[in-house]
Amino acid sequence: MMKLRLPLRLAPGFDHHLDMVSLEQASNLNLLLGQVLHTGVPGAIVELGCYTGSTTCIIGHTLAASGDGRPFHVFDRFDVTLGEHPAGRDVFERNLNAVGVPMPVIHQGDVFETVPASLPSRIAFAHLDLGVGGDTQLHARLMDHALRHVYERLSPGAILVLMDYYVPGLTVEGHDSNPGVRKAADLFFRDKPETVTTLFGGPCSHGYVRKAG
Ligand SMILES: C[S@@+](CC[C@H](N)C(=O)[O-])C[C@H]1O[C@@H](n2cnc3c(N)ncnc32)[C@H](O)[C@@H]1O
């Protein structure tokens, strides 16, 4: 294409069945977590829904590169396969080891059972990514459970990132992969001082909340 002087680049498109995170979302996670670490918001880092580790690698790498030794906890049932990705805890651990990201504390099981029991008491940064494309109402219930328990543990200034938070028109090119996310989040934050801010996530949807206080 360069020889033809055409300003075009051939690249595979984003596949919503196979790809877990867009470049724009990777950048959002990196910058938002970096801000929390830089400003010294107290608490642990948590991720609910880590699957094969794409976003865990971004979060874990940002944390390790900062030199901040605070704990990082991940939660997943590890028995779901999305698209053609082979899944499971062994795949998750292999992927992290392959890129040299330190292993987080892993809580294997259903979030309805592991949360809040295994959640750290104070949280500085949380990433919620529990969507598997199923029933919207069921997913909204799971999100509500996660939001209630994570929110009350967020330190003032902490960041909560919501994967798949989709607002038509605002989420510029994003996809509505898991409508239960916005359904649960908008209801949950209706009587809270915070509101969800939409982020640009390229082909995917993303929102975040900064805990007041
Ligand atoms: C979209 S994937 C997460 C993708 C991941 N962040 C990544 O970048 O690879 C959603 C994950 O949520 C998990 N999940 C869904 N419902 C769950 C539940 N009730 N308890 C625990 N994990 C759950 C699934 O096992 C799946 O791994």
pLDDT of residue 12: 75
Residue 2's pLDDT is: 56
Residues 6+ away with beta carbon under 8 Å from 73? 44, 45, 46, 47, 104, 105, 107, 118, 119, 120
What pLDDT, in 10s, does the model give residues 130-169? 999 989 999 999 999 999 999 999 999 999 999 999 998 8
Domain membership of residue 181 (yes or no) is: yes
Q: What is the pLDDT along the chain (213 residues), one digit of tens a residue?
A: 556 677 777 777 888 777 888 999 999 999 999 999 999 999 999 999 999 999 999 999 999 999 999 999 999 999 998 877 678 999 999 999 999 999 999 999 999 999 999 999 999 999 999 999 989 999 999 999 999 999 999 999 999 999 999 998 888 788 899 999 999 999 999 999 999 999 999 899 999 999 998
User: How far apart, in Å, are the Cα atoms of 85 and each of 78, 133, 172?
Assistant: 12, 15, 27
Which amino acid is located at 172 in the chain? V
Answer for the pair 57, 96: CB distance below 8 angstroms, yes or no. yes
Integer-rounded Cα Rg, in Å, for the chain is: 17
Ligand 1 atom at shortest distance from the alpha carbon of 51: 27
pLDDT in tens, 178-197: 999 999 999 999 999 999 99
Residue 81 Cα to ligand 1 middle (Å) = 9
User: Does residue 3 sit within a domain?
Assistant: no
pTM, rounded to two decimals: 0.94
Q: Determine, yes or no, domain membership for 182.
A: yes
Domain at 189, CATH number:
3.40.50.150
Range of the domain at 106: 23-210
Decide if 119 is inside a domain: yes
Number of domains, the chain: 1
Ligand 1 neighbours by CB, cut-off 6 Å: 20-21, 49-55, 76-77, 80, 110-112, 129-132, 142
Please give the pLDDT value at position 128.
98
Residue 28 falls within a domain, yes or no? yes
**130: in domain:** yes
In a domain, 83, yes or no: yes
